[in-house]
């Protein structure tokens, strides 16, 4: 490879930029569950053509983040409490496998990186933390965990389920007291990993997901009851 080739920057296709931008907007809660995603809005937001926007929407529909209704168009998918419970069940097993693998196979540098992200989370104010910064740190924590577990299959499956879980994570973290619980639970994960306690890391990961599920499902059920009462 020549020096010029090594320095060359390959631009991302517009469709990929729109796909990633729309996914991020849904995952961070900028587009709320049930919100309509008309072509015109997305074209203006991303500066892309209608064909590019529609292709990106189709890809996110395959991930379950978008639902398209005949004669109505695409909407941000809304997870029912029953669907959310299923997502958390799958996530719990995958996250536990990753925690176990990380404890067994991660490098010293990866362990230090996981600790660094944990302490950055712990440094956020327990109430009123910037939601985008909080969600970015959670994503970074899982990126390190999946890389260090040395199981590409688990990492690929987790990427799919965590996209579906993104709205739920934003829901659970919207609870005023949830951040402190999240930090305490992830601290248990990191401490088990640092002790190379694979079984402890597995259990700590399962406990973390169960706690997040309890909060998110409570909020979703409250919303469901409120919607029925006003429907």
Domain residue limits, the chain: 3-76, 81-230
Q: Higher confidence at residue 187 or residue 174? A: 187
Tokens of 145: 């965990």
Average pLDDT of span 13-30: 87
Looking at beta carbons, which pairs linking 77-80 to residues 24 or more positions away fall under 8 Å?
A: 77/33, 77/167, 78/33, 78/34, 79/33, 79/164, 79/167, 79/168, 79/220, 80/220, 80/224
Q: What is the CATH number of domain 3-76?
A: 1.10.10.10
Average pLDDT of span 23-44: 88
Average pLDDT of span 183-201: 98
- Residue 9 predicted with pLDDT over 90: no
Label residues 57-92 b or e (16+ Cβ within 10 Å = b): bebbeebebbbeeeeeebbbbebeeeebeebbebbb
- Residue 50 predicted with pLDDT over 60: yes
pLDDT for the residue 5: 45
> pLDDT confidence of 223, banded at 50, 70, 90?
confident
Within this chain, domains 3-76 and 81-230 share the same CATH topology: no
Average pLDDT of span 22-32: 83
Residues shown for the chain: 231
- What radius of gyration, in Å, describes the C-alpha atoms of the chain? 19
Q: Which CATH number fits domain 81-230: 1.20.120.530, 1.10.357.10, 1.10.3210.10, 1.10.630.10?
A: 1.20.120.530
pLDDT for the residue 122: 96
pLDDT for the residue 74: 96
Task: State the Cα–Cα distance between residues 161 and 146, nearest whole angstrom.
Answer: 13
- The whole-model pTM stands at 0.77
pLDDT, one tens digit per residue, over 53-98 is 999 999 999 888 899 999 999 999 888 889 899 999 999 999 999 9
């Amino acid at each position: 490879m020549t020096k010029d080739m090594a320095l060359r920057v390959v631009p991302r296709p517009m469709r990929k930029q729109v796909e990633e931008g729309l996914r991020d907007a849904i995952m961070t809660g900028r587009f709320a569950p049930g919100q309509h995603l008309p072509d015109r809005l997305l074209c203006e937001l991303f500066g892309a053509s209608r064909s590019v926007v529609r292709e990106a929407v189709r890809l996110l529909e395959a991930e379950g983040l978008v639902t398209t209704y005949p004669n109505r168009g695409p909407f941000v998918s809304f997870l029912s409490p029953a669907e959310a419970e299923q997502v958390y069940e799958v996530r719990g097993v995958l996250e536990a496998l990753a925690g176990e693998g990380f404890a067994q196979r991660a490098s010293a540098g990866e362990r230090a990186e996981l600790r660094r992200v944990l302490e950055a989370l712990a440094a956020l104010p327990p109430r009123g933390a910037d939601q985008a910064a909080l969600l970015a740190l959670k994503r970074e924590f899982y990126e390190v965990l999946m890389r260090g577990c040395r199981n590409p299959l688990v990492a690929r499956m987790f990427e799919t389920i965590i996209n579906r879980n993104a709205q739920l994570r934003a829901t659970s973290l919207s609870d005023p007291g949830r951040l402190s619980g999240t930090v305490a639970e992830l601290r248990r994960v990191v401490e088990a990993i640092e002790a190379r306690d694979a079984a402890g890391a597995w259990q700590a990961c399962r406990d973390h997901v169960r706690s997040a599920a309890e909060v998110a499902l409570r909020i979703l059920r409250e919303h469901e009851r409120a919607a029925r009462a006003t429907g």
